[in-house]
Amino acid sequence: MHDIDCVLKSFLGDFTSSEFDVDQAFLPAEGEVVQSADHVGPLQWTQWFLGRVLGGWREGFVTIACHGRAEYRETSFILRTIIIHYTEIEPLNRFLRVGLPTHRELPPRELRDTAEEEKLDTDSHDNQAGQAALGTLLTPVRGLLLTARILGGLSGLLSIAPYVALVELGRLLLSSTPDPEHVRNITHILVATFLSQLFVHFLALTVCHFADLKLAGHIRRELITHMAQAPLSWFTATNSSRVRKAVQDDTKTLHQLIAHAPVDTTFAIISPICLVAYAFVVNWRLGLLSIATLPLYVLLQMFSMRDMGEKTAHMNQLLDHASATVVEFCDGIEVVRAFGRTNEAHSRFTQASTRFVDFFLDWIKPLLRISALSEAVVSTSVLLFVNTAVGALLVHAGHVGVVDLLTTTLISLVVPGAVLVLGGSMWSYQLAGSAAVRIRHLIDTPTLTSHNPTEQKNTPADTSVEFENVTFSYNEGITALRNVSVTIPAGSTTALVGPSGSGKSTLATMIARFNDPTSGVVRIGGVDIRDIDNLYEHVAFVLQTPHLPDLPVREIIRLAKPEATDEQVRQAAIGAHIWDEIAALPNGLDSRANLSGGQRQRLAIAQALLADRPIVILDEATTATDPEVEAEVQAALSHLAIGRTVIVIAHTATSVIGVDQVVALRDGQIVAVQSNPTHAELSSLLGAVHV
């Protein structure tokens, strides 16, 4: 381990006050050089330090981020990254500059992050889970696959016929008085059985490919249907690469297993068994000779295939992790460049890639020698040498004939190829198991369900919104809302205020079922939102960062109402104060423009206007705009709010001026509710929650 030259003198001078309640027994002495291997260690010290300085909920985040960080340079990188994002404390920044080394290179292999290795570590349970998931996934096509295997087995049985016919034909031709009619009949049998075997094999592959198409369509439909019922927050929390990989890549990974493996593996089992059996029928000595090198090949292959399932699953997880870091880097490139941390952010991908390469090379390198040796054992030259050399001795001794030797030599050349096919099928089976786990993981994601699906859906009496004893916790156990109860009158505008992390967005988006409460009820017009048919006919929302597809402007707006006319689209754009900018584009509504943040917000407002829903959620819709654009957006929002129930997540005092009701939240709880607040009441309320 590297020494940690902690230069703590100035640090302790700034942070040993009662404000941070420093545990002196836990800290090293001033100026002490700490050996992380036998003292506190960077992990524990980092967790304690950031937990104290950053406080509260961030301690949980830091614990997750730093778990198992046993190498100091890696820890320092996390320290500086978290500080950049979460604090402006100058003494802390000074300490980081003076006391921590710069993250310039990858840590040595033996000191790399052990936490992620533990997270990515796989065992036999992962392999079993893959096979179980695969078994469940293949249920819709089991009948077709069984039919294909039967046909593949029949093809394997027919494959022996040409060899039998070849032996008989050779004996006839080498006889002293060959019968032309008999030769003709055997030739016809040879051609007929060969063509029959090809036809049956083709038919088996056709059935397999039909099963593959059926299964791929079934999986994609199930995924799309399931995702359509998933909470909207699931899409914001889920890496887009996971969904794309499941819908496209993982279904393609199953292709080899479904479209080829059932026939190939069955044929590769039946055909060699029949051929070797026939070789023994011809002559038991030649039968043994035809498989002389095969036991050694099988032993070498079995040795190389040890732990194949577990290592394949581990490899896939490392590869997925590397892919995720690429998406993460691309998604956050603006922030990364803004802080001048491009190299450090890129290093996450570099480290993930290095872990994958190291694991793969450590696994594959020893197998290369084994693979080379096993391939040599069953190579054509070795097989021909063994069979012809030993066979010549047998022919010379009068134990076998030349035709018999020729036939069994051909059989010896065919059998290893079948074994290779079995090995390839095992590999595709392992890859398909990992793909099946990822697909099942997405399919098994909890979906939004009706509160009481047996009852008829209800229609809200009005557009009032009521939260009754609502509590919500994320899967990680983080409680975002605690026992929240508030009523938003129909036709009113209510502002939710509070510091970042207070639960404003979580509470507001719950109306649109981004998440359902862990406990409690959300009602619209007196009806539980889980029992409202077509909820989104009642609710629209404008998010802080609208995600708009790459479509012409007309089609983007029309997404809210596909049957809308061009005039209705134009009126919605006028109401959203963006028509003039659209009209100025080269192709007007048909333009695919590179829109600014304010323009995207106003397009989202135009969508909400066109949808004409009675309840509108505005999630931080003006926090990222300049004054001119904000004025345009505010005017558009004012137009949108007319005659509707509006819930606004507000971050600035100007956003709450003129609202009918203000709900102040802090730490997931309501601290105050004020109707028609005066300027003084509003200032006091905002000050109480530090807005």
pLDDT at 527 over 70: yes
Q: Which of 516-520, 579-583, 681-685 has the lowest mean pLDDT?
A: 681-685
Mean of pLDDT over the chain: 73
67 and 133 inside one domain: no
540 and 652 inside one domain: yes
36 and 110 inside one domain: yes
Number of domains in the chain: 3
Distance of CA 97 to the CA centre of its chain: 37
Domain boundary among 76, 94, 116: 116
398 and 527 inside one domain: no
The pLDDT-based confidence of 77 (bands split at 50, 70, 90) is very low
Encode pLDDT of 4-30 as tens digits. Answer: 333 322 333 333 333 333 333 333 343
pLDDT for 320:
74
The pLDDT-based confidence of 162 (bands split at 50, 70, 90) is confident
Q: Which of 57-61, 222-226, 547-551 has the lowest mean pLDDT?
A: 57-61
The closest alpha carbon to 503, from 357, 669, 647, belongs to: 669
The closest alpha carbon to 336, from 322, 351, 326, belongs to: 326
43 and 130 inside one domain: no
Other Cβ atoms within 10 Å of 665 Cβ, number: 23
> CA 536, CA 231: separation in Å to the nearest integer?
13
Domain boundary among 116, 149, 165: 116
pLDDT at 374 over 90: no
CA angle, 15 then 66 then 110, to 5°: 120
Interval 45-54 mean pLDDT: 45
**More confident: 52 or 555:** 555
Reduced to 3 states (helix: H, G, I; strand: E, B; else coil), residue 140 is helix
659 and 597 inside one domain: yes
Max mean pLDDT range (344-358, 408-422, 570-584): 570-584
140 and 258 inside one domain: yes
pLDDT for 521:
92
pLDDT at 222 over 70: yes
> CA 220, CA 217: separation in Å to the nearest integer?
5
pLDDT for 625:
52
Pairing of strands 615-619, 539-542: parallel
How would you write 566-614 as a 3-class SS string?
Answer: HHHHHHHHHHCCCHHHHHCCCCHHHCCCCCCHHHHHHHHHHHHHHHCCC
The answer to whether the beta carbons of residues 645 and 492 sit under 8 Å apart is yes
pLDDT for 75:
40
Residue 663: HSE in the Cβ half-sphere, 13 Å Cα cutoff: 26
78 and 158 inside one domain: no
Domain boundary among 75, 93, 116: 116
Q: Largest Cα–Cα distance in the chain?
A: 121
What is the CATH number for 275?
1.20.1560.10
> CA 263, CA 267: separation in Å to the nearest integer?
6
Q: List Cβ neighbours of 135 (8 Å cut-off, separation of 6 or more).
A: none
Note whether residue 453 is domain-resident: no
**More confident: 675 or 59:** 675
Domain membership of residue 230 as a residue range: 124-293+378-443
**H or E segment to which residue 509 belongs:** helix 504-509
108 and 155 inside one domain: no
The pLDDT-based confidence of 245 (bands split at 50, 70, 90) is confident
Note whether residue 580 is domain-resident: yes
Note whether residue 560 is domain-resident: yes
What is the CATH number for 479?
3.40.50.300
Instruction: Describe the crossing of helices 308-331 and 402-443 by its angle, rounded to 10 degrees.
Output: 50
pLDDT at 284 over 80: yes
Encode pLDDT of 329-358 as tens digits. Answer: 665 665 555 555 555 556 777 777 788 888
Q: Which residue has the tokens 């031709």?
A: 173
Note whether residue 421 is domain-resident: yes
> CA 641, CA 193: separation in Å to the nearest integer?
79
> CA 526, CA 529: separation in Å to the nearest integer?
9
pLDDT for 450:
66
pLDDT at 139 over 60: yes
**More confident: 328 or 102:** 328
Encode pLDDT of 676-690 as tens digits. Answer: 887 777 777 777 666
pLDDT for 59:
33
The answer to whether the beta carbons of residues 72 and 1 sit under 8 Å apart is yes
CA angle, 549 then 553 then 555, to 5°: 70
Q: What percent of the chain has pLDDT over 70?
A: 72
Note whether residue 321 is domain-resident: no
Note whether residue 89 is domain-resident: yes
**More confident: 479 or 347:** 479
pLDDT for 318:
80
pLDDT for 40:
39
Interval 385-403 mean pLDDT: 88
pLDDT for 47:
46
Max mean pLDDT range (125-134, 235-244, 291-300, 463-472): 463-472
pLDDT at 624 over 60: no
What's the pTM?
A: 0.61
Note whether residue 370 is domain-resident: no
581 and 667 inside one domain: yes
Q: List Cβ neighbours of 471 (8 Å cut-off, separation of 6 or more).
A: 479, 481, 482, 483, 484, 517, 518, 519, 520
Note whether residue 302 is domain-resident: no
CA angle, 238 then 128 then 260, to 5°: 85
280 and 414 inside one domain: yes
478 and 537 inside one domain: yes
